[in-house]
Structure 1
Amino acid sequence: MSRRDDHLSDDDRILWNLVARSARPLKGKTAVEIPDIIEPKPAPAAAPVNGVAATAAKPKPQQVAHSLDDQTLHKLKKGRLPIEGRVDLHGMTQDEAYSLLLTFFNRAHAGGVRYVLIITGKGSSSGGDGILRRAVPAWLSTPAFRHLVSSHDHAARNHGGSGALYVRLRRTRS
């Protein structure tokens, strides 16, 4: 007797989203939109009781990836803090880069890695900013990455300059 498990692992969900996005609908059928992340809707406000509005509990502040502090940034630039992992996103589409980055961060976080280097590249030679160069910092503040990433900042010139990012991962809870 096999037990059916309705919960997908993070890796399986990433793979499924990649496959689902690359699929084309049959002739005469419309494509189904696949949401990136489903966020819960806020609960409706409570109705006033006896003319007094009920006070709602304050929501938890969301953890947002901040910039690295100056001392840590200086140590990373000078090589005094080890960069324990690096991932190169050159030549990837946004979907490929997103999936690779999420998988990479999950594995690095599980392994206790603290500092990693993300190489996005500087973009096209036509003078515009690269897509990944703009997208990756925005991704780091999304719910999918928020529980993994503590802070991030642009890398030093010797590590890729504006085409790379230093990322500090959150500590694993023991």
Structure 2
Amino acid sequence: MTRRRLSAEDQELWDRVRANTERIERSNLEVQRFDPDVSLSAPAPRNLRKAKAVILGKPGPPSRAPTHNLAPAIHDQVRQAPLQMDQKSFGKLKRGKLRPEGKIDLHGMTLERAHPILTGFVMNAHAHGKRLILVVTGKGKQRDEGGPIPVRHGVLRHQVPQWLSIQPMKSVVLQVAQAHVSHGGGGAYYVYLRRHR
């Protein structure tokens, strides 16, 4: 690759830039800790103590940590889903008073294996006239290896409500709710099915 020579205009501009800059020695460089809460364009604080604390990296008053998870937690998504079933029955369901007529345990399965098994189980339960089934997913293992992309905690726990909301299961599922503690709590879902016709 050949180097292109600067035009006279570019050389003049470069000389002006060099005249207005100072050479920095490596020994004068200081590694600064990145603080996402401090904006680069923020005006300097008027209080000298606060300014000194910001410069020295001392902790200031406690602030609410920003959340970077764009998708709401799965239990929030399930809880905020519109109520499709009878209010009284739903209250019994949430208190663990209704007994599931069928149960499937997906512990230890991969997504590829669990999806067809869950689909077959839900469709079969509906064909046999069952109304309430229990889907056990487990709470999931903490598997974050510290990489740049966060790993979701409890993959099956997050995926099962998604599967239940798409066809063919969407046509037979009336309501999905987190199970009562007596039936598995955060690691299981109640799936209330439509009446078989």
Q: TM-score, normalised by structure 1?
A: 0.56
Equivalent residue, structure 2, for 1:152: 176
Q: Deviations over 1:83-108 (max 9, x none)?
A: 10010000001111111111101110
How far did residue 72 of structure 1 move?
2.4
How many residues were matched structurally?
Answer: 110
- Output the CA distance in 1 between the equivalents of 2:139 and 2:82: 22
Distance 1:167 1:65, change over 3 A: farther
Equivalent residue, structure 2, for 1:140: 164
Matches within 5 A, 1:1-174: 71-126=88-143, 129-173=153-197
- Write out the 4+ residue segments of structure 1 that deviate beyond 4 Å after TM superposition: 64-70
Report the AA paired with residue 125 of structure 2.
A
- Output the CA distance in 2 between the equivalents of 1:145 and 1:154: 18
User: What is the RMSD of the two structures over their aligned residues, measured on CA atoms?
Assistant: 2.3
Alignment gaps of 5+ in structure 2: 1-80, 145-151
- Output the CA distance in 1 between the equivalents of 2:126 and 2:114: 18
Distance 1:133 1:79, change over 3 A: closer
Secondary structure, counterpart of 2:117 in structure 1 = helix
* Contact 1:155 1:162 (C-alpha < 8 Å) held by counterparts: yes
Q: Deviations over 1:15-36 (max 9, x none)?
A: xxxxxxxxxxxxxxxxxxxxxx
Report the AA paired with residue 119 of structure 2.
L
How far did residue 132 of structure 1 move?
0.4
The structure carrying a bigger helix percent of its residues is 2
How far did residue 80 of structure 1 move?
3.5
How far did residue 126 of structure 1 move?
4.4
Distance 1:139 1:115, change over 3 A: same
Rg: which structure is higher?
2
How far did residue 145 of structure 1 move?
1.0
* Contact 2:119 2:169 (C-alpha < 8 Å) held by counterparts: yes
Alignment gaps of 5+ in structure 1: 1-63
Aligned-residue identity in percent: 44
Report the AA paired with residue 150 of structure 1.
L
How far did residue 78 of structure 1 move?
4.4
